[in-house]
Structure formats: C-alpha cells, structure tokens
Chain A
Amino acid sequence: MQAAASLTGALTACTKDYAPAKVRLSFAGSDELAAQIRQGAGGDLFAAANATLPQQLAAEGKVGRPEAFAGNELVLAVPAKGAKVADLDALASDEGARLAVGAPSVPVGSYTRKALGRLPEKQRSAILARVRTEEPDVKSVLAKLQQGVVDAAFVYRTDVQATKGAVRAVALPAAIQPKVSYEAAVVTGSKHADAARALLADLRTGACGQALRSAGFLAPGAAG
C-alpha cells in the first residue's frame, strides 16, 4: 500500500496485525505517490490524503474507482506553549509572524489555499505574505513548527493530535473549512487486486478504520 504521509501513525499500527495478508507500507506525500503510480512504479493500493488525486488517476485509468475511507479537518497549528499567534486574525496582523504551509501540489497545501481563498482578500493576502516555506509534505510542515522555525502552520487535526500536546490546534471558522476527504483506490494491474480491495474495505469499516478513528480521523463523509 502506498499511503499519504499523514496516515503514517494509524496505518503502521493497524496493518501490523492485519490477518488476511502481509501489508507493506510506503509513505510519502500523496502527490509524490501519484507521480510514482503514473510512472508505473505503483503498488497495489493507493491511499491518498485527498480525493482529487485518486480521481485524476482513475480518469487516467491508472487506478480503479476511488472510495472515501476517512475525513480530516484542516487547522492552524501553533506551539502549545508561548505561541506567538493565537488565531487567523493575529496571524494576519502580525507582520513578524512566520508561517509554514504545504506546497500547492500536495493536498494539505491545496486545502490550505482553498480555505484561505474563502477569506476576505485583504486577510488572505496578509496571511500568504507570512509564508516562509512551502513544504513537500505535511510531516515536514509540522516539523518546521515543532523546531520553532515558524510560529504557525496549516496542518490536519490528526497531525496535531500525534504531537501529544506539544502543538495546539486552532480550529478554522466553519465557513472556510474545506472538506478533507481521504480516498483510496486499487492500482490498475495490481497482482493482488482482491487483497487490495479487502484492505480498502478494512480501511473503511474494519480494524484499520477504527485505528484511523482513534487517531482522530473523521468517518468517511463526515467531514465538514
């Protein structure tokens, strides 16, 4: 299975004891995984951190029909202690604030831009002016925050939960919250297509589904 970096914690735990088959995991940014699949270096199951990449690949015939298996929530993450900015307004008004976001080509980056796009023009451009780095995946966005290199970062709620209290999540206004849906699809030409389909079902409703839920992922379709 090729899975988005944000799924690392939950999937590593639940696939270790996955009975029906031995699962080998490869984590990276969803876009990078998609590029690998386009180049023919695909695995059997592609679990992305969004819906667009699996749907694009499906349109190209590289994967089968995508199914949603989890949802997530985009948040503004700040250090739990000594945070320099408290919310979006503070971020927009503090010219010295430093912000890390995902590159536009990765899901977390495109969700971030989608959310910011729903803000008033002035606030949006003020926040974009705080961007100091566009990272290639969500883990490195979070790492920049945890290193103290930036003051705030746009990541998923599950990533914040995984820091065990080091980082605090500031919820975005419901009006700008994008629908973060995780979809997975069986890679075309997979030699283990049946096993991959079974694993996809497990992601939705089985042990892996539960593991995802307890890691803070939302049920498929439940995202705001």
Chain B
Amino acid sequence: MRGRRPTPFGVLASAALVGVVLALALPLVAILTDTAPARLWASLRSDASLTALGLSFLGSGIAVLVVVVVGTPAAYVLATTRFPGRTLLGALLELPLVLPPAVAGIGLLAAFGPQGVVGGALDDAGVRLPLTFAAVVVALVFVAGPFHLRQAQSAFGALDPAVLDAARLSGAGEGAVFLRVAVPLAAPGLGAGATLTFARAIGEFGATLMFAGSLAGVTRTASLEVYTRFATDFPGALALSAVLVVISALLLLLARFLTARGEVDARA
C-alpha cells in the first residue's frame, strides 16, 4: 500500500497556516522573550503599573457586570422573538465591534460630551462624564459589550424552542423561563461572551483615551500606561505589555473552552 502524497492545495494551505502563525505570533513572542523576568517583576511592582492594572481590572470588571446584567436579557429577546427590524437592530448593536476606536470615541463624545445629546442634559444636572473613571467604564461597555451580545444571542438562538415551551407549559412565567431554563442552558456561551468582553475591555485603548483621557490613578488603564511609557520607558512598556499578552491569552483560552463546552452541551 502506497502512502498518500499531500495534494498541492494541502501544501499551499499548510504554508499559509505557517505564515499566519508567524505573522501573528512573532510580535507576541518577541514581547515575551524581550522581557527579562527580573525586569518584568520590577516593572510590575512599580506603583504606576499596579495602579494601571488595578484600574484596568476594576473598570473591565464593572463593564462586564453592566454588560452581562443588561445585555443578557436583551440578547435573549433578540434571539427568541421575531419583530420587524430585528436583523437591522442586531447589526446596529454589533457595529462597535468593527468601528475604529477613534470613531467610537467621537461617538461617545457626541453623545455624552458637554455639547452632546445626553451630555448637555447631564451637564445641566451637574454631572460631567468625560475624563472620569465612569467614562472609562462607559467606553469599555460601548466597545466591548457587543462581544457578549453576540455570543449570548447565538447561545440563546441555539436553544430548542420546544424546551422553552415545555417550561411555559410546566407553569413557568417568562422570567422563570429565562432565569431557570434559558440562562442555565446557555451558560457556557454566556460565560464565553463575558470572558471575551472582559478581554476586549482589558485591551481597550482608543475610545478610552478620547472619552476618558489619561490621568494616572483615575483613568489611565494598563493599555494607556503602556502607551504613555512607550517613549520614555520602553522596557517598562514591554513588561506591562507582556502581562497584558499573558492575561489576554488566558482569557481567550477560557472563552474557547467555554464555547466548546457549549457546543457539547447543545449536542447532548
């Protein structure tokens, strides 16, 4: 029996995969190998790094909380009911995923800035959102929220409608159908969505800078700190970048794991 020769397409596709891996992985590997462990440790122990990382985690955590609490029921409605304009609305809600961060920042300023639609009213009420920590959270919710909305919609969309009907016929109100049946069954997908949202929020930069500014201890998150140090303290920027790479990689792995579990559950 003769072994099978690889086909020309197989060879080309494998070469493409190698190219993709090199192009994507090289800068990341370089960040990690360029960072001496001692240097990394020293940089991490610096107050500025810790403060920035703390702000990133706190801001992203609050943003994820807001997104999960508000976005999950919204995604459920989008996924399980039919109404006119539903497709359009779904696309609109995903728009921040593909918008350049600068556009997101301008949009937030146009809405919540002192001359903005909502911001003007807020200003009259004595609340100024831009350049505050709350503005960081708003920017993160806006930019990262669609990741959860998207994952949650597909998780709810994959549920068997007959199971939801069975819950209604067993006496459950719509709230109980959502909380006791839909959410537990969609849990892996929801977890993946929340994780992706968190990962995106940790990496957010452009919209935060434009809307919330950059002030140490108030609005300067880890990604802004990297940018601030880029010029004066490249090794420090590198060390903080390495931390962000590791955190992001772990979060993406977790999201992958949860998505895979969701698919297994859906098949069961």
- Indicate if A touches B (C-beta under 8 A): yes
* Pairwise interchain contact B216-A134, C-beta atoms closer than 8 A: yes
Q: Which of B216, B231, B234 has the most CB of A within 10 A?
A: B231
* Pairwise interchain contact B232-A147, C-beta atoms closer than 8 A: no
Stretch binding the partner chain, chosen from B79-87, B107-115, B175-183, B188-196: B107-115
Smallest Cβ distance from B204 to chain A, in angstroms? Answer: 15
Smallest CB-CB separation from A136: which chain B residue?
Answer: B227
- Please measure, in the bound complex, the distance between the C-alpha atom of A20 and the C-alpha atom of B200, giving whole angstroms: 46
* Pairwise interchain contact B115-A147, C-beta atoms closer than 8 A: yes
Q: Which residues of B contact A148 (CB under 8 A)?
A: 113-115
Interface residues on B, range: 20 to 34
Smallest CB-CB separation from B135: which chain A residue?
Answer: A149
- Please measure, in the bound complex, the distance between the C-alpha atom of A38 and the C-alpha atom of B232, giving whole angstroms: 11
Say yes or no: is A127 at the interface (Cβ < 8 Å to chain B). no
- With A148-B114, A149-B130 in contact, do A133 and B234 touch (Cβ < 8 Å)? no
Stretch binding the partner chain, chosen from A58-66, A99-107, A184-192, A215-223: A99-107
Say yes or no: is B154 at the interface (Cβ < 8 Å to chain A). no
* Pairwise interchain contact B214-A35, C-beta atoms closer than 8 A: no
- Please measure, in the bound complex, the distance between the C-alpha atom of A77 and the C-alpha atom of B214, giving whole angstroms: 19
Smallest CB-CB separation from A38: which chain B residue?
Answer: B234
Say yes or no: is A132 at the interface (Cβ < 8 Å to chain B). yes
Q: Which residues of A contact B216 (CB under 8 A)?
A: 134
- Please measure, in the bound complex, the distance between the C-alpha atom of A173 and the C-alpha atom of B115, giving whole angstroms: 32
* Pairwise interchain contact A133-B115, C-beta atoms closer than 8 A: no
Q: Which residues of A contact B220 (CB under 8 A)?
A: 134
Beyond A134-B213, A147-B114, 16 additional contacts (C-beta under 8 Å) are A31-B230, A31-B231, A32-B231, A35-B230, A132-B213, A134-B215, A134-B220, A134-B228, A135-B213, A136-B209, A136-B227, A144-B131, A147-B115, A148-B113, A149-B109, A150-B131
List 21 A–B pairs whose Cβ atoms lie within 8 Å, in order of A's numbering: A32-B230, A38-B234, A39-B234, A100-B213, A103-B214, A104-B232, A105-B228, A105-B229, A105-B231, A131-B215, A132-B131, A133-B215, A134-B214, A134-B220, A134-B228, A135-B209, A136-B227, A148-B113, A149-B109, A149-B130, A149-B213
